[in-house]
Every structure is written in structure tokens, then in C-alpha cells.
Amino acid sequence: MTIIDGKKVSASVKEQVAEETKKLKEQGIVPGLAVILVGDDPASRVYVNNKKKACELVGFKSEEYALPATTTQEELLSLVRDLNERKDINGILCQLPLPKGLDENAVIEAISPMKDVDAFHKQNVGRIMLGDYDFLPCTPAGIMEMLHAYGISVEGKRCVVIGRSNIVGKPMAMLLLHENGTVTICHSRTKNLAEITREAEILVAAVGRAKFVTADMVGDGAVVIDVGMNRDENGKLCGDVDFENVKDKCSYITPVPGGVGPMTIATLMKNTLKAAKLQNF
């Protein structure tokens, strides 16, 4: 069993981004990322801080807009419109979830597709479906990057994704399909879930429930990718997979923390760099 080291893979992605950023700076271009945070969700604050650190590391300019939970829809959209117009901002990211009363879809749609480094805009989602895209959603793209780094081929393999969110589940299935995997998406209404997941050669768990995937749900030699970020009964960070009991059945498995998480931020850096290039050349 091999533990997939997301920190290591993400460090090499960020190194690559930093090198390319240096070349851009020689041409007078500094990639800029604007991050909008509304309200005071502690998990969102942690993510935003990590994104800021990553920007510093690769040499980007980063701007943070921390808005109170009382911000109105119009104020938020007005900020997005201003950022769309700015030449020095190449990527715009609005940290989700937003406080109650704000329309996430309207905010996502307001971000220019050219600056949508999360790849949530309908236009970018449609292009992912067609396989003709500029940006990929950060978590699924980060997972593909990890599989490639460890020489894990998707072609012809049975792939099962648990979870059908627009952020992870659906685009994840699409990316596995683009690499010729045979893909099944499971969700809360799936019957005989364990029977299906046991068949998986590559299993991606993105349900947001602590230790949901148990050993009897995993086939021998499977590659298990854990997207979850939860707290267990003792308040300790854990994933959607019961790591201790599942790991001995796997050929490869990602840990939580230190697996998928770092890759998500590395991919965001990659997308922002690409946005800067597309907008300048």
C-alpha cells in the first residue's frame, strides 16, 4: 500500500508555477488573484489564509476582500464587476458557502469566465463537458494531477465517484471519463452502494461524512481518493474514508490531511497563472 503524498505533489506544481511566474514578471506581468470572503466561517477563513500563503510562495499578487455577513447581494455583485474590469486582477474567487440570503449562483455567473479560476461559471462547466476547456475545477484537477504523479492510469479502469456535487462529484466523473475510465456516480439514493464501490479500481469519496467509506466497501487493490474534510468524534481531522481500516486493502490511498487538500490550492495557482497568460497574450 502506498500513501499518496499530496503535499509533495503540490509542492512540485507550485514550484513549476513559481518558475513560470518569474518569466512572466520579466515581461512586466504579475499574476493577480482576488479572493472574496463574506462572513466569518472559520473553515473558509483557513482556506483563504492558505490561498494567500500559496500566492506569496509562487510570486502572485493577492488581494483579499473580507466582507461582513451583512453584505447585500448588490454590494457583492458590484465588487465582482469592479474586479472584472481590472487589468491587474487575473483571477477572481469567491469563497463558498456564502451566508444565508446571498445567491451563490448569481455571484458565480457575475464573475467573468476568463477570470473564473474556480471553473464554476456555466460557460466553463459546459466546456469541461465538451473536453475543450481553459480551467478545471481545482479539486478534481488536483486529483488527476496526483494520479499522474504516481503513474496511476485511468484508461479502461472502473471508476466510482461517491457524491454528485457541482464542485467535486460531477466534474470528477467527467475528468475520469476524458481519460477513458468507465465511470459510475453514486449518491444518497444509490441502492446497494457497497456492491458498486467494491467493484471500483479507482474510488473517489466526496460525500462530506466522516469515515463514511468502510473496509467492506472497498475492493482489494483499489486506489482510494478521499476528498472529505471532517472532524471525527474526538474533534480530530478526518476524511470520508475510515483510513485505518481501509488502508490495508488499497494499492494507493490519500491521507487526510495532506492528500487532496494541498492539491486543490496548487491547482488554483495553476489556473491563475493560465488566466494571466490568456489575458495578456
pLDDT tens for 62-95 read 999 999 999 999 999 999 999 999 999 999 999 9
For the residues 145-173, what does the mean pLDDT come to? 98
- What local confidence, expressed as pLDDT, does residue 43 receive? 86
CA–CA separation, 229 and 70 (whole Å): 27
CA–CA separation, 65 and 107 (whole Å): 14
Domain boundary among 64, 94, 112: 112
pLDDT tens for 224-242 read 999 999 998 898 999 999 9
Asked whether residue 266 is domain-assigned, the answer is: no
Are 198 and 172 spatial neighbours (Cβ–Cβ below 8 Å)? no
Q: Give yes or no: 279 in active site.
A: no
Q: What is the pTM of this model?
A: 0.95
Catalytic residue among 14, 115, 116, 118: 118
How does strand 237-238 pair with strand 230-231?
antiparallel
Give me the CATH number covering residue 97: 3.40.50.10860
Asked whether residue 1 is domain-assigned, the answer is: no
For the residues 144-161, what does the mean pLDDT come to? 98
CA–CA separation, 58 and 31 (whole Å): 10
Asked whether residue 95 is domain-assigned, the answer is: yes
Are 91 and 33 spatial neighbours (Cβ–Cβ below 8 Å)? yes
Number of domains in the chain: 2
Residues 6+ apart with CB under 8 A from 238: 210, 211, 228, 230, 231, 232, 256
pLDDT tens for 179-200 read 999 999 999 999 999 999 999 9
Q: Give yes or no: 103 in active site.
A: no
The total number of residues shown for the chain amounts to: 281
Residues 103, 201 within the same domain = no
State which residues form the domain around 172.
138-261
Residue 116 has pLDDT above 90, yes or no: yes
- What local confidence, expressed as pLDDT, does residue 202 receive? 98
Asked whether residue 146 is domain-assigned, the answer is: yes
Residues 75, 171 within the same domain = no
- Looking at per-residue confidence, does 109 or 46 come out higher? 109
- Percent of the chain residues past pLDDT 70, beyond the cut: 100
For the residues 34-43, what does the mean pLDDT come to? 94
Asked whether residue 44 is domain-assigned, the answer is: yes
- What is the overall mean pLDDT for the chain? 97
Residues 6+ apart with CB under 8 A from 251: 1, 2, 221, 222, 223
- What local confidence, expressed as pLDDT, does residue 9 receive? 98
Catalytic residue among 51, 249, 270, 274: 51
Catalytic residue among 14, 95, 115, 170: 95
The model's confidence at residue 134, banded by pLDDT at 50, 70 and 90, is very high
pLDDT tens for 257-273 read 999 999 999 999 999 99
Residues 156, 76 within the same domain = no
Residues 205, 242 within the same domain = yes
Asked whether residue 125 is domain-assigned, the answer is: no
Are 254 and 4 spatial neighbours (Cβ–Cβ below 8 Å)? yes
Angle at 115 between CA 111 and CA 119, to 5 degrees: 80
Q: Give yes or no: 95 in active site.
A: yes
Burial pattern 143-177, b for ≥16 Cβ within 10 A else e, equals bbbbbebeebebeebbbbbbbbbebbbbbbbbbbe
